[in-house]
A and B are shown apart, each in its own frame.
Chain A
Amino acid sequence: MANIAKVTQGALAKNKKLNEIIERLNPLLNIEVNEVEEDEPLEIEYSDNNVVLRVPANGGVPEGFAEETLDVVNSDNTAGQRVFLTKAV
């Protein structure tokens, strides 16, 4: 999304608070989300140009569960496979 241009002409330009808000708002229009290693912390980096969210990768298989690939009949009658999270009971 394009940045909001500062007001430089007219009566509104005399309101410095307006341009201050525009300066703060523009980085939020350029949010970047990066996936980082599972053991790295969640980080938010705020700069004049953009905001970068560093999100740890999905935590994998929940404790006690295992991934199993099982065969299924797809809705068009072809054979397919699905990955299930399974746990013995």
Chain B
Amino acid sequence: MAILRAGSWGNWINLHANPVTDFTTTPSVYPVNCAKNNWPNQNWGALYIKNNYYSEEVSGLASLGEDVSIESDIYYIAFIFCYQAAQGFEINFNWAFTGAGVSSNYPSLYWEYQTKNGASDSYFNTPADSGTETIMLPASTFGQVEMYVGGESFGEDVLLTASLS
């Protein structure tokens, strides 16, 4: 059965918010996607938030396959998006740590989702220097997904690159 569109942006509490175009402050609502497909008037997107500890966090919109990166010795990248899906689908969370600080890096990776249909899951790990975490998102009239990858290398910088696919 077809699912009536929510959004076009939203969050767990507000399923019908206007799209955000100004990212000077980090938004509290996120794109509502049609599984892994584009809407007729809105391409697939996730809000990314990245921070290097020494300056204000930066946010923006990332599409599928688009790399987001940050370089520092204390750093993270997070992705948040909402979705609607008539059947479950997989999404890949990709990351890579490179640079001089990798040898002294303490990385962490986390993801979680919850749906209005009652499903939820979460995962935490100390990740390898690079990899892909495949997450199976269940069918739902509305779900919210958050992903985080970051680290601390205490001196030498690490370049972290992350994407969704």
Contact = CB atoms under 8 A, between A and B. Distances in A.
Interface of A: 70-82
B40 A82 contact: no
A72 B32 CA distance: 12
Given A77-B34, A78-B34, A79-B34, A71 B39 contact: yes
B86 A75 contact: yes
A74 B38 CA distance: 12
B34 A76 contact: no
A75 B1 contact: yes
Interface stretch (B2-10, B60-68, B72-80, B121-129): B2-10
A71 B40 contact: yes
A84 to B, nearest CB: 9
A30 B84 CA distance: 50
A67 to B, nearest CB: 16
A61 to B, nearest CB: 20
Contact of B34 (A70, A73, A75, A82): A73
Interface string B64-99: 000000000000000000001111010000000000
Nearest to A79: B34
A74 B5 contact: no
B165 interface: no
Given A74-B86, A75-B86, A75-B87, A80 B2 contact: yes
A82 B3 CA distance: 10
